[in-house]
Amino acid sequence: MSQLHINNVSKHYGSHKALHDINIQIESGEFLVLIGPSGCGKSTLLNSIAGLDSISDGDICIGDRVVTHVSPKDRDIAMVFQSYALYPSMNVYKNIAFGLEMKKVPKEQIDNEVKRVATMLQIDHLLERKPAELSGGQRQRVAMGRALAREPAIYLFDEPLSNLDAKLRVQMRTEIKKLHQRLNATIVYVTHDQIEAMTLADRIAVMRDGHLQQLGTPADIYEDPCNMFVAGFMGSPAINFVPARVHQADNQAWGLELTDSAGETYFVELPNPPASIADWKERELIVGIRPEHISHNENVSTGGRWTMRNLIEVTEPTGPDTLVFTRLNNQEVTGRVGSEYPVHAGEYLTLSLDLSKAVFFDPETEERIR
Amino acid sequence: MPDTSLNLNRLFSRGLLYLVLLTFAAYFLMPLLVMLFASFKDLSEIRAGNLVMPPLDPTLEPWRKAWSEACTGIECNGIKGYFWNSFVITIPAVILSSAIGAINGYVLSKWRFKGSELFFFCLLVGCFIPFQAVLLPMAQTLGWMGISNSVVGLILVHTIYGIPFTTLFYRNYYVGLPTELISAAKLDGAGFFTTFWRIVLPLSGPIIVVTLIWQFTNIWNDFLFGVIYSGPDSKPVTVALNNLVNTSTGVKEYNVDMAAAIIAALPTIIVYVVSGKYFLRGLMAGAVKG
């Protein structure tokens, strides 16, 4: 009943196209994250769903209703803004009550609703305060309370955590997730933080320049990216892109030519080459391999690994593990080594590449080779 | 002893600074002081010369005369009637032009429409048109509307010519309000006027005060519109003051002239002193909000 359909939605500003033919179907109770770099159109799309921006083409449906030309207040949505947009002249109680008051809900009912929401968000002791007297985290809660009080079909979040400090952000992230599980609400959430996207989403929509790049579960997006942009955008530290020449061995096995930091080149067999590998015979493609798949030798247990003894140029301990920077095919790559292994910059370390987890891209189109 | 010389140096530059400031303050305050002194002297004392001397024998007579007896043309009832005229003209014109400017500014900053920038530009032109250029067409218009030579006509003229400035003030202030506030109100179901009344206006304190001071000062001090569009019963105090000073029946009473001038200037001075305080306070509150 509170599903959201975005059908062929486009948006132009004059000759500039902000959204290109976006299609996303969101199930009732689903948590969808829109992610992309600034200017990718994610906020425009969110505002279009809210009705704050008009769209040039296509349809938006909430539940069974086409709402493309319905005014924001009649769309049965609530939005949490990046700046929270709390009304500065009203206290917390009135901020939460305002939407209900506009709907002409009876006073007693408003009172109950405000108290219910305030208790749920643990802000019941702040009801008399003005927004200026609240901390960042408290304002964030009030902003969510304002959305919750309306019990809308769809919740829209526009980068709600980006104004909080790091610790609070993690805390509120968990709370939003809990809230989603408790309310079973349909949520569309905009962020540029890929960790937020991975941790919160049922599905992630990655956008760039007004185009939807890929729509899928966090695991899909992370492990099976459709192009170099998606692969590079998700994951921290970022995935390594290494150009490598494809070669077929005498035994018909396909493999890559890889050069270690000493300049020694090896033929490395691919455990599961993509189906179209034959097209790339003796040509260079881009290998995408995540830092956790370049690791200390004993860390990788599956087949398809290749070990090399490489010079470590820089190390960055993060706590649970240490990031190591070395060279592969004369390209700087990042690896991830458990912190129990002593690693020092300027020393050699045996690293192992798990090529069964690698993905391959066309260097021209940047599309995935499958 | 480098310390003492440094201190002496500082003392000297401080002293110089205060000397310059005091000189300028005296320079600017002198005319007001002369007016004030003269208004409490009787004529013989003024004729004796010394302008900057305080009155030896202070008297309220010139003030009483300016208020209720001095001649402004053929009538000799002082300026009190015109003083009230000025209030009757100024207060509605200030309120109307400020209110309309607020709505205009709200629309032009938060409810942009196709051509709103052009509309704003045209309004701004209104700020730069010399008022002399519109005297005749406005006289004609007032005639057609049947309100020439009346208080209502003057209120209308002042309201119209105040709107470009008040719109500019409010618009520039509202541009600084986060647009997300308006979006949030829209989603909450508040309409155009509800949003204005409940969300925007409570945040407008400082700019309301600025606009009120500006409009009050301008309209109260106006002479041009007052002298041209007023009838015998609707002259503002500025025009009456002019007539009083220019009426020559026998002796020139400088003390009465000065008292009348101070009376005419008093409301703007009071408005500035009283609301200037609120103005500052408003600015501070805005700064804390963050």
On whether the CB atoms of residues A225 and A214 are closer than 8 A, the answer is yes
**Cβ pairs bridging A and B (under 8 Å):** 60
Q: Does B189 touch chain A (CB under 8 A)?
A: yes
pLDDT band for position B286 (cuts 50, 70, 90): very low
Domain ranges of chain B: 2-59, 80-287
Bridge pairing between strands A284-289 and A57-62: unpaired
The pLDDT, as a whole number, for residue B287 is 40
- Pairing verdict, β A77-80 and A254-259: unpaired
Q: In chain B, which residue's Cα lies nearest the Cα of A76?
A: B187
**pLDDT score of B285:** 47
Q: DSSP state, A153?
A: S
Numbers of helices and strands, H then E, in chain B: 13, 0
- Which residues of chain A neighbour B288 with C-beta distances below 8 Å? 132
Interface test with A, best of B180, B188, B197, B284 (most A CBs within 10 A): B188
Shortest alpha-carbon distance between residue B63 and chain A (Å):
47
Contacts of B199 in chain A (CB under 8 A): 87, 89
**Is A188 an interface residue toward B (CB < 8 Å)?**
no
Residues of B in contact with A73 (CB under 8 A): 186-190
Residue B279 has pLDDT above 90, yes or no: no
State the smallest CA–CA distance between residue B141 and chain A in angstroms.
Answer: 42
Please, is A79 exposed, middle or buried when counting C-beta atoms within 10 Å of its C-beta (0-12, 13-18, 19+)? buried
Residues 44-63 of A with CB under 8 A from B: 47, 50, 52
pLDDT score of B4 more than 80: no
Task: For A76-112, give the DSSP string.
Answer: -EEEE-TT----TTS-HHHHHHHHHHHTT--HHHHHH
Q: Residue B181 in contact with residue B254, Cβ under 8 Å? A: no
Interchain proximity B288–A50, CB inside 8 Å:
no
Minimum distance, in Å, between the CA of residue A64 and any CA atom of chain B: 20
Side chain identity, residue A202: D
Residue from A49, A52, A148, A162 whose CB has the most chain B CBs within 10 Å, to mutate = A52
C-alpha–C-alpha distance, residues A328 and B263, integer Å? 89
A310 min Cα distance to partner chain B (Å): 53
Position with higher pLDDT, A334 vs B8: A334
Amino acid A1: pLDDT: 61
**Which range, of A235-244, B101-110, B124-133, averages the lowest pLDDT?**
B124-133
CA triple B7-B8-B11, angle to 5 deg: 85
**Torsion, CA B159, CA B161, CA B163, CA B167, rounded to 10:** -160
- Write out pLDDT tens, residues A267-325: 988 888 899 998 999 999 999 999 999 988 765 455 667 888 888 999 999 988 999 99
* Dist. CA A309–CA A296, nearest whole Å: 10
Q: Residue A25: beta bridge partners? A: A5
Task: Give chain B positions within 8 Å (CB) of A102.
Answer: 188-190, 194
Report the gap between the CA of B116 and the closest CA in chain A (Å).
17
Tell if the CB–CB gap between B184 and A52 is shorter than 8 Å: no
pLDDT, tens only, A312-360: 999 999 988 999 999 999 999 999 998 888 888 888 888 888 888 899 9
Q: How confident is the model at residue B81 (pLDDT cuts 50, 70, 90)?
A: confident
Q: Which residue, chain included where needed, has tokens 């097209």?
A: A279
Torsion of the alpha carbons at B216, B218, B222 and B225, rounded to the nearest 10: -100
| Whether A103 and B189 lie within 8 Å, measured CB to CB | yes
Q: What is the pTM of this model?
A: 0.82
Contact residues for A64 (Cβ-Cβ < 8 A; gap 6+): A1
- Which residues in chain A show pLDDT less than 50? 300
- Report pLDDT for B76: 77
Instruction: Measure the CA–CA gap between A358 and B264, rounded to whole angstroms.
Output: 87
**C-alpha–C-alpha distance, residues A203 and A212, integer Å:** 13
CB A189, CB A200: distance < 8 Å: yes
| pLDDT of B289 | 41
* Closest CA–CA distance from residue A179 to any residue of chain B (Å): 21
Residue B288: pLDDT over 60: no
Residue B9 has pLDDT above 90, yes or no: no
CA distance B170 to chain A (A): 18
DSSP E strand stretches across B189-272? none
Give pLDDT, residue A98: 93
Choose the closest CB to A102 out of B181, B189, B202.
B189
Q: Does domain B80-287 have CATH number 3.30.460.10?
A: no
Residue with tokens 């003392």: B11
- Nearest residue, CB atoms, A102 vs list B188, B202, B289: B188
Q: In this structure, are residues B182 and B192 in contact, taking their beta carbons and an 8 Å threshold? A: no
B130-172 per-position pLDDT tens digit: 888 888 999 999 999 988 888 899 999 999 999 999 999 899 8
Residues 6+ away with beta carbon under 8 Å from A263: none
CB B33 within 8 A of CB B52: yes
User: What's chain A's length in residues?
Assistant: 370
Instruction: Provide, as residue numbers in chain A, all residues whose Cβ is less than 8 Å from the Cβ of B189.
Output: 73, 99, 102-103
Phi-psi map region of A104: left, alpha, beta (phi>0 left; psi -120 to 50 alpha): left
Whether the pLDDT of residue B2 is over 60: the answer is: no
Angle between helices B179-188 and A42-50 (to 10 degrees): 30
C-alpha closest to that of A36 among A217, A224, A194? A194
